[in-house]
Amino acid sequence: MGTEREGRLLLSLGWPIIVSMLVQALYNIVDSYFVSHLNTLPAEAIQRLLGDLYSADAGNVSNSALSALSLVYPLQMLMISVAVGTSVGINSLISRRLGERRIEDANRAAGNGLVLLAISAAAFTVIGLTLSNVYMQWMSTDAIVQRMGSHYMSICLSLCIGVFLSCGIERIMTAQGRTIFAMFMQLTGAIVNIALDRVFVLGFWFVPAMGVKGAAIATVIGQFASMLLAIILLFATKHEIRIGRADYKLNRQTVKEIYRVGLPSILMQAVSTVMLFGMNAVLNALGAYQDGIIPGKIKHPIIYTGAFGTYFKLQSIIFMPVFGLTNAAMSVLGYNFGARNRARFMRAFKMLLIYCCIFMTFGTILFQTCNDPISKIFSSEKQVELIEITDTMTEEERAEVKAENDEKQALAAMEKEAMESTLKRALRIISIGFVFAAAGITFNTAFGATDTSLYGAIVSLQRQLIVLLPVAALLALITKDVDGIWWAFPISEFITLVVAGLLFKRLYRKKIKPLDDLPVITD
């Protein structure tokens, strides 16, 4: 942490996290991929999934499933925000205490952190068991979307202990530079989830298709697999952190130190939840308006929210290399800040900024050039139940039936094309701001490593609430087109970068530059 060349150190610590996060993001995409192909199931399987809600004109069940996942996603993001934010606070505190050679305090930070994560998981379990139906009725008026979303939310939230503990232990290992362990934890959960998605969502052999409910079950099993491996690695391998029984007893000062960094990080990431709520509300409102203009055709709210949720999971693949590097950099920057080594801190920060911008440039090129084939992966045409034409029908009856069948097929093709087109334009427009986002995320990492995560919270509020939602609503009102909403993202990223740069300049003057006046801590 204190001697190896900064660029090499960031990559050596970052690549295992990048690999694990890429696989983590991939299995989120796999959920969406399989539910987007529910239309390929036989009619009797779809009828069994929908139960009393099934009818011949129920609409595109794949689009409804994608919309359900998208509407539950804000609650998942809130849960992950608490898990990751608390874990960031644990990571930052452990890194600083190790840099200061205060090993007992680092052990206490790890033990207290795990207790805090378990308490947080219990709170979300209660939410999942009691509020799933109410939440989905609030988020959608479509009965099919409500039922699918309620099943998914109740399973994922009520069994969330796996994601909380695995996330916390992963950051405990990362704080010590053991990122390879973090990679194994993430890979285990992701591989289990991906393997089970195909089985539970679409059915396989003796296992019946369970649709969205199956996606939730596969997700939870994967999280528990990751948690079990994390516990084994934490307590059965040798490393600097050794948690004793006394370390689990909550210490007021330790909890305060964890949440000094963790709470702003939670709020910063929870802003994404509010943003998703807001964007879904704007998309639903615009879709309802367009349904009023073209009644009886496709369901625009379901198309827009489904496409947005799919985009959000796709972009996570592009952002994961950046998040992997920043997770590793949090430990490097925190260690050298604790050791009062200004020159090394700044060299690591500059290398992080360069790497992140390079990764996001590649992401922008990918979404600009490959948006069409990517969008086709997440759309499937509804299997239309056609009316049989018999020999006993008159010519007029045959003509009427043929016209009705042609209309059903045309509508199914139209729904498929609408989903593809909406997702394709979202990928192309939003990716324009990716490089701006990379630089902003780099600044936020420096804020967290220097115990000034409040700056990061300010930046996130600026990015996702103060600018993004008002601009999205305004552009939707002016343009009456979903593309206007997508343009709000690059506009927000650029303004955020300006604000983050000004805050970092202030941080450098007040906290980083004065490190030269203090003695460097060495072995």
List pLDDT tens digits, range 377-412. Answer: 776 555 555 556 666 667 776 677 677 666 666 766
Euclidean distance between CA atoms 102 and 378, whole angstroms: 50
**pLDDT band at residue 116, thresholds of 50, 70 and 90?**
very high
Within a domain: residue 75?
yes
Euclidean distance between CA atoms 162 and 60, whole angstroms: 33
pLDDT at 295: 54
Instruction: Name the least confident of 117-121, 152-156, 210-214.
Output: 210-214
- Position with higher pLDDT, 342 vs 217: 217
**pLDDT band at residue 434, thresholds of 50, 70 and 90?**
very high
Section 305-315 average pLDDT: 84
Buried b / exposed e over 57-84, threshold 16 CB at 10 Å, is: ebbbbbbbbbbbbbbbbbbbbbbbbbbb
Q: Which two tokens stand for residue 138?
A: 């609030």
The DSSP letter of residue 207 is: B
- Is pLDDT at 2 greater than 70 in this prediction? no
Instruction: Name the least confident of 59-68, 230-239, 286-295, 310-319.
Output: 286-295
From the CA atom positions of the chain, what is the Rg in Å? Answer: 25
Are 165 and 117 spatial neighbours (Cβ–Cβ below 8 Å)? yes
pLDDT at 521: 47
pLDDT at 296: 55
Within a domain: residue 374?
yes
Buried b / exposed e over 210-246, threshold 16 CB at 10 Å, is: bbbbbbbbbbbbbbbbbbbbbeebbeeeeeebebeee
- Is pLDDT at 27 greater than 70 in this prediction? no
AA identity, residue 378: F
Is the backbone of residue 177 left (phi > 0), alpha (psi -120 to 50) or beta? left
Euclidean distance between CA atoms 375 and 201, whole angstroms: 20
Within a domain: residue 522?
no
Within a domain: residue 395?
yes
- Is pLDDT at 119 greater than 90 in this prediction? yes
pLDDT at 73: 82
pLDDT at 494: 93
Domain with 123 in it: 6-517
How many structural domains comprise the chain?
A: 1
Helix axes 434-449, 252-293, angle to 10 degrees: 160
Section 368-374 average pLDDT: 88
Within a domain: residue 98?
yes
pLDDT at 250: 86
Instruction: Name the least confident of 324-333, 343-352, 361-370, 423-432.
Output: 324-333
pLDDT at 426: 92
Within a domain: residue 1?
no
- Position with higher pLDDT, 14 vs 303: 303
- Is pLDDT at 497 greater than 50 in this prediction? yes
Are 426 and 308 spatial neighbours (Cβ–Cβ below 8 Å)? yes
Give the mean pLDDT of the chain: 82
pLDDT at 81: 83
- Position with higher pLDDT, 273 vs 495: 495
Euclidean distance between CA atoms 99 and 79, whole angstroms: 30
At 204, is the secondary structure helix, strand, or coil? strand
**pLDDT > 70: what percent of the chain?**
86
pLDDT at 520: 46
- What sections of 370-508 are H helices per DSSP? 371-377, 395-430, 434-449, 453-461, 468-479, 482-507
Longest dimension (CA), the chain: 97
Section 135-147 average pLDDT: 86
